Structure 1
Amino acid sequence: MTAGRTQDDPAHQGFVDDFAGSDLDLSVWVPAYLPQWSSRAASAATYAVHDSCLHLIIPAEQGLWCPDDHDPLRVSAVQSGVFSGPVGSRVGQQPLREGAVVREAQPALWGWTPRFGRLEMRARMELTSRSMAAWWLVGLEDRPDRCGELCVAEVFGESVTDAGAAVGMGVHPFRDPRLVDDFAAPRVPVDVSEFHTYSVDWTPDGASFAVDGTVFRTVDVVPDYPMQSMVAVFDFPDRAVPGDREQAAHVPALVVDRIGVVRG
């Protein structure tokens, strides 16, 4: 594995993690989901690294994320950077709601934060109609306008059929005035429970999104600043089907074989 350590380190452009060790490299990855709005402990991922893969899962005993400030949500995620202001400030990536304030200040980490390149993740997903898995890139919001998102792959289990799945891909501007919302979920004829390669070719002139090398979407206006990766599996308890024991017993999972840069 080659890992970047600072925002300007050229290793960001050559980073690949194949999870060959027995745990995450914590100089690159934060095993928690947007901890500034909660805490490292309360937002901690349930995960393991073995068989050269990162296994993110949501077991039955895993609690809710921000239960007093968000719709019912359980999540196991890792992110390749984090930035926040002090407790009580509104500085931090992807606030859970307008006016959200930092509950636990985070030491800044620019673990892997590339600016442009061909990036890819080889992964498989185990989902039901109440779960979702995704990989997206976001600005660290070290400046308020550096907040845009490039979503490479977002799959809701309810979209999965024998013929494939809807894979969300594109741009969300949030508060970046340069960007426009350009997002869609084309149907892709793949079995997401098997390993596939999800990628984005991100340049100053736009981005193209592909699955197993086939391009399904392109966008013309993209973020132009360093971005961290968010890799996550979600469970939505309020989508549970009463009496469906199989769904209730299911453990959502996102298994990542490798993630990183194919071309800088």
Structure 2
Amino acid sequence: MGADGLRFPDPPAHEPDFEDDFTVPQLREDRWVDHYLPHWTSPERSRARYDIDDSGLRLRIDADQPDWREEDAPLRVSNVQTGVFSGPVGSHRGTHRHRSDGLVVRTETPERLLWAPTGGRVEVTVSASVDEGCMLAAWLVGTEHLSEGESGEVCIFEIDAEAVGEGKSHARCGVKAHGDGRLTTDMTEAVLPLDASKPHTWTAVWGPSGTIIGCEGVVVKRMRQSPAYPLFLMIDLFEIGPRSDLETSYPKTAHVHRVRGWDALDQPETDAL
């Protein structure tokens, strides 16, 4: 599975600073924003489709779901994230300016920093989608509320539906620089000896010594770089490409079972590995 099969250290002994196992009937407003980068589009296009069932948070792409932005069609997203920031309408200030074609704020969104650590550890337990055209992803992205240059990303995982198999799955992980000139984009395609449509846990640890990403307790990728500023966690289900012809193909779904996070400015785990 990569990185010499090293095992992650156990998580910190103290209780997580951020935790949700989605056992209450409503998404917690003190934990999550249920919109995908709402400042770059309109509320009806950014709003997530989801429900909570016995397995946790079920992200959905529905047959009538609009494209995230008309310019990006065909692309539909249901996403939850641990905060949001934007400048005024018409400005270029806002979290995750991931596009180079001039994203402009269309919906001014009040700043909300629900969980935005500058270093630490996060564990995300998910079941990926196997529905045509879908991708499940989890990212830590620079909030950019302090500086436009604080825009790097830790890509914990990106799992395409067609890359999920019964005994083997593929996923992408690593660091993306975006607009941060201090980082270098470094992505890897990992081969996982598991069916990613079943519950499995990803872990990311980041701090001054670098970034480590792993799956099911095994290190997948190590890097001697890390964003050194506040990051929001984003968990996204995408449908990329044309809609399915059959309405019975919907909803397209993926599950988020549990999220745990620890804040740490002096995180020792990157040194241990």
Whether 1:233 and 2:247 are equivalent positions in the alignment is no
Q: How do 1:118-137 and structure 2 match up within 5 A? A: 118-137=121-140
Could you tell me which residue of structure 2 aligns to residue 91 of structure 1? Answer: 93
Could you tell me which residue of structure 2 aligns to residue 19 of structure 1? Answer: 22
Whether 1:146 and 2:150 are equivalent positions in the alignment is yes
Residue of 156, 160, 165 corresponding to 2:169: 165
Runs of 4+ in 1 over 6 A off after TM superposition: none
- Following TM superposition, by how much is the alpha carbon of 1:177 offset from its aligned partner in structure 2, in angstroms? 1.2
Contact 2:117 2:263 in 1 (8 A): no
Mapped partners of 2:161, 2:74: distance in 1: 17
Mapped partners of 2:101, 2:260: distance in 1: 32
Tell me the alpha carbon deviations over residues 12-68 of structure 1, each in whole angstroms, 9 at most, x when there is no partner: 96111111211112132110111001122221000112326111111222121112x
Mapped partners of 1:144, 1:212: distance in 2: 34
Instruction: Return the letter of the residue paired with 1:249.
Output: S
Contact 1:129 1:156 in 2 (8 A): no
Contact 1:13 1:117 in 2 (8 A): no
Contact 2:140 2:155 in 1 (8 A): yes
TM-score normalised by length of structure 2: 0.85
Whether 1:50 and 2:53 are equivalent positions in the alignment is yes
Mapped partners of 1:113, 1:56: distance in 2: 22
Q: How do 1:177-188 and structure 2 match up within 5 A? A: 177-188=181-192
Whether 1:174 and 2:178 are equivalent positions in the alignment is yes
Instruction: Return the letter of the residue paired with 2:229.
Output: Y
Mapped partners of 1:99, 1:168: distance in 2: 26
- Following TM superposition, by how much is the alpha carbon of 1:165 offset from its aligned partner in structure 2, in angstroms? 1.5
Mapped partners of 1:53, 1:163: distance in 2: 24
When residues 163 and 20 of structure 1 are mapped into structure 2, their CA distance, relative to the original with a 3 A threshold, is closer
Q: List gaps (5 residues or longer) in structure 1.
A: 1-11
Mapped partners of 1:250, 1:217: distance in 2: 34
| Aligned sequence identity (%) | 35
Contact 1:134 1:232 in 2 (8 A): yes
When residues 82 and 74 of structure 1 are mapped into structure 2, their CA distance, relative to the original with a 3 A threshold, is same
Contact 1:149 1:223 in 2 (8 A): yes
Secondary structure at the aligned position of 2:72 is classed as: coil
Residue of 72, 75, 84 corresponding to 2:74: 72
Q: What is the RMSD of the two structures over their aligned residues, measured on CA atoms?
A: 2.2
Instruction: Return the letter of the residue paired with 2:218.
Output: T
- Following TM superposition, by how much is the alpha carbon of 1:100 offset from its aligned partner in structure 2, in angstroms? 1.5
Mapped partners of 2:49, 2:243: distance in 1: 21
Contact 1:57 1:233 in 2 (8 A): yes
Could you tell me which residue of structure 1 aligns to residue 270 of structure 2? Answer: none
Secondary structure at the aligned position of 1:85 is classed as: coil
- Following TM superposition, by how much is the alpha carbon of 1:163 offset from its aligned partner in structure 2, in angstroms? 3.2
Secondary structure at the aligned position of 1:36 is classed as: helix
Q: List gaps (5 residues or longer) in structure 2.
A: 1-14, 265-273
Contact 2:62 2:252 in 1 (8 A): yes
Could you tell me which residue of structure 1 aligns to residue 219 of structure 2? Answer: 215
Tell me the alpha carbon deviations over residues 204-260 of structure 1, each in whole angstroms, 9 at most, x when there is no partner: 1111111110111111111011100110100023386xx7x59x7153222111112
Mapped partners of 1:239, 1:160: distance in 2: 20
Secondary structure at the aligned position of 2:242 is classed as: helix
Contact 1:72 1:238 in 2 (8 A): yes
Mapped partners of 1:237, 1:94: distance in 2: 22
- Following TM superposition, by how much is the alpha carbon of 1:112 offset from its aligned partner in structure 2, in angstroms? 1.0
Whether 1:29 and 2:36 are equivalent positions in the alignment is no
Could you tell me which residue of structure 2 aligns to residue 254 of structure 1? Answer: 254
Mapped partners of 1:197, 1:163: distance in 2: 16
Contact 1:164 1:191 in 2 (8 A): yes
Mapped partners of 2:117, 2:206: distance in 1: 10
